[in-house]
Structure 1
């Protein structure tokens, strides 16, 4: 008999004798034959689709052990780079709060795919989606059957200020009957916008009023399929950490600004750099309409990162790069002399890689705020404050 000590990055429990056990939790016992005997932190998974559905990997963990997993993912990534840092208590998003998700549909099926598979798990319940989004699953299944969907399509769902926003990629039904079916569906189910994209760009079929997402108290035009933090609770946690990190700054550079998740919550004058044109234009329009001191620039920070001299014009820098991290920008960040850097990351490994370069140049990780907004998944986010 051996004891499960922790959960590894891919979700398997690791025993004290080195064996790995899927679907186990810290405190479980692993028999000689590999059977998992539940311990004090092993909960009964709430969803009938677990563990087949790939939307969740860790429903067997209670909140305490799941929070420990989130913290351990960050600590382990830092340790792999020879780093340590103070970790704050993990902030977990509650169940049924996911306001952004991509489902898959084909031949009467709709849902997430199975773990490490293209097979669609036909969704009949979900404990992570926000109720307004889950309420659309059965009606969408019926709609696609009526429209004759046979090949696979992706269904991008988001909760905007006006209600559910739907973008279907890989399927663009044509004709009067399809148009009437889409209109009726949207009217019945309070859809804010319905767009389709067959490979030539998003085409909006229904949008009674312009769709927005409120960021930092500012309504921002939300492009079809646009990015927003997965939960409101997760966004609030990350924004609060960033605002705390750069408190007192009169000029801030917001790199990889997106639609302005952090931009509109930041103090003073804000320079916002973003490579996606639709997001930048939406941010720029919202800032102009509200008379905010925001100065947007369309800039690919991978091909043309800000130089140390450019960064030195600001009191603080905020960056929230994609999962690949900000390797190209990190060199200049390491060399610059700004007062504070707030680094938001959805990948502890790429964060730790970039942090190593910055620490080697004289920066210190003041603190890290772990955030678990992708509940029961192995996906971990964080916000960190760097100081000289």
Structure 2
């Protein structure tokens, strides 16, 4: 059905919200205040035209915007963009009973995203289209670091070798680290191995197994150099990792003597905290724990880092095990409810929590506040630029 409507607000997915005959309709690419023509079915609308554009509408910087689903906010001016992302953080906190404004909005884009996953399909190579499982073919992506300029070419070559695949590429200090995921039976190692020489890759993996490694992919974390395990988690931008680490280190109380890093991953916080104090580090990913331990042993000027593989979702550290002055945790999108409930019952003096999902962050923050902590210095870090994702961190003190 085709109709004209006025956009009243912006939903948390960056879609304009209109009301037609008493029903809410979500319209991607539309902005509050705009009079638009849309085609809709149920609550899903498609923008056909903007009859009266909003004052905060700007020209997108990427020609793929609007078709590619990788970005949702390139048409929004900077003040409105920042306000939208701040709202993503503050609104769930308000619903959780916490009235604390974001104190700083930090641009964490740096040189761009250092990792990307491109989908290689018959219809092309790129990211999924808006509201679709079809791929929008791209020749470049302006939000990636320059070192990933060849990412579309690499993904096309992967498709030629094995057919449909998802191709994850990380720009490391020693070259590109490429990991291929595919269900195609013709995906043999010998079909993709030539790509290492062709594109001068550091490493190539297929379905979690290493095909060929010219040199270990390396990233720097403070004074340490960390070898990346295949398929490991890495912050989207190097700038965001550095800014988050600075936040954590600056929150460290001078009187603190015992420190732990929960959901430590490769150790971006643990390795920097170890420049000051010994650190206990925990994560359920064994390859990341091994990489952290290796990096610490080869780094100079660090205190001891004791890294342990432990599933903190099923086996959280209990209130009796949390004998630390300072804790930092950066859980995945699902949050850390079980672990946070134990922290709330503990005597830990200071907790820094980083997160990438505002809703689970608000839930976990409310548990800490109910347990007697005071929440402060709430910051937003914008590393997922032009998308509806946002990173956040806050300090909790007894």
Choose which of 345, 355, 359 in structure 2 pairs with 1:335.
345
For 2:70 and 2:103, the matched residues in 1 are separated by 27
Task: Report deviation, 1:175.
Answer: 7.1
- Cα distance in 2 between the residues matched to 1:36 and 1:243: 50
Aligned match of 2:268 in 248, 251, 261? 261
Question: Structure 1 residue aligned with 2:258, among 222, 244, 251?
Answer: 251
Larger mean CA deviation between 367-376 and 212-221 belongs to 212-221
Contact (CA 8 Å) 1:57, 1:376: kept in 2 or not?
Answer: yes
Shift of 1:96: 6.0
- Give the equivalent residue in structure 1 for 2:312: 301
Q: Does 1:47 align with 2:58?
A: no
2:34 corresponds to 1:29: yes
More deviation in 46-55 or 32-41? 32-41
Whether 2:219 is the aligned partner of 1:213: answer yes
What is the alpha-carbon distance in structure 2 between the residues aligned to residue 175 and residue 310 of structure 1?
A: 45
CA distance in 2, matches of 1:95, 1:314: 33
With the length of structure 1 as denominator, give the TM-score of the two structures.
0.89
Q: Report the secondary structure of 1:358's partner residue.
A: helix
Residue pair 2:317, 2:339 contacting (<8 A) in 1 also: yes
Taking a change above 3 Å as real, the CA distance of residues 175 and 305 of structure 1, as seen in their structure-2 partners, is closer
Structure 1 counterpart of 2:336 = 326
Number of matched pairs: 375
In structure 2, the CA distance between the partners of 1:15 and 1:79, relative to structure 1 (3 Å rule), is farther
Is there any run of 5+ residues in structure 1 with no aligned partner, and where? none
**Partner of residue 287, structure 2:** 278
Instruction: Kindly state the Cα deviation for residue 298 of structure 1 after the two structures are TM-superposed.
Output: 1.1
Deviation (angstroms), 1:8: 2.2
- 1:13 pairs with 2:23: no
1:186, CA displacement in angstroms?
A: 2.7
CA distance in 2, matches of 1:114, 1:354: 33
Q: What does the per-residue CA deviation read over 1:136-178, in whole Å, with 9 as the maximum and x for residues that have no partner?
A: 3124314532x2x33x2110111112121100011574375x3
Which position in structure 2 is the counterpart of 1:165? 177
Q: Which of the residues 281, 296, 299 maps onto 1:287?
A: 296
Tell me the alpha carbon deviations over residues 61-111 of structure 1, each in whole angstroms, 9 at most, x when there is no partner: 122221111111001010111111141221123486011121111236211
Residue of structure 2 aligned with 1:134, choices 127, 132, 149 = 149
- Higher deviation after alignment, 94-103 or 299-308: 94-103
Q: How far did 1:188 drift?
A: 4.1
1:174 aligns with: 188
Name stretches of at least 5 consecutive residues in structure 2 with no aligned partner. Answer: 39-48
8 Å Cα contact 1:45-1:59 kept in structure 2 = yes
Separation in structure 1 between the aligned mates of residue 60 and residue 225 of structure 2, nearest angstrom: 37
Q: Does 1:380 align with 2:393?
A: no
Which residue is equivalent to 1:239? 245
Going from structure 1 to structure 2, the CA distance change for 1:120 and 1:2 (only over 3 Å counts) comes to closer
Answer yes or no: is the 8 Å Cα contact 2:109–2:382 preserved in 1: no
User: Secondary structure, in 3 states, of the residue corresponding to 1:90?
Assistant: strand
Deviation of 1:30 (Å): 3.0
In structure 2, distance between residues paired with 1:16 and 1:235: 41
Q: By percentage of residues, which structure has more strand?
A: 2
Say whether residues 1:187 and 2:206 are aligned partners: no
| Separation in structure 1 between the aligned mates of residue 319 and residue 189 of structure 2, nearest angstrom | 55
1:20 Cα offset (Å): 5.6
Counterpart contact for 2:37–2:51, Cα < 8 Å: no
**Structure 1 residues 3-12 or 283-292, which shifts more?**
3-12
| CA distance in 1 between partners of 2:73 and 2:189 (Å) | 44
**Distance (whole Å) between structure 1 residues aligned to residue 321 and residue 154 of structure 2:** 51
Please report how far the alpha carbon of residue 121 of structure 1 lies from its aligned counterpart in structure 2 after TM superposition: 1.0
* Mapping for residues 357-368 of structure 1, pairs under 5 Å: 357-368=367-378
Question: Does the Cα contact within 8 Å between 1:71 and 1:87 map onto a contact in 2?
Answer: yes
* Alpha-carbon spacing, 1:245–1:42, altered in 2? closer, same or farther (3 Å): same
CA distance in 2 between counterparts of 1:159 and 1:380 reads 21
* Cα distance between partner residues in 1 of 2:337 and 2:140: 40
Of the structure 1 ranges 345-354 and 357-366, higher mean CA displacement relative to structure 2 is found in: 357-366
Q: Aligned partners of 1:345 and 1:94: how far apart in 2?
A: 17
CA distance in 1, matches of 2:167, 2:36: 42
- Please name the residue that 2:114 is paired with: 99
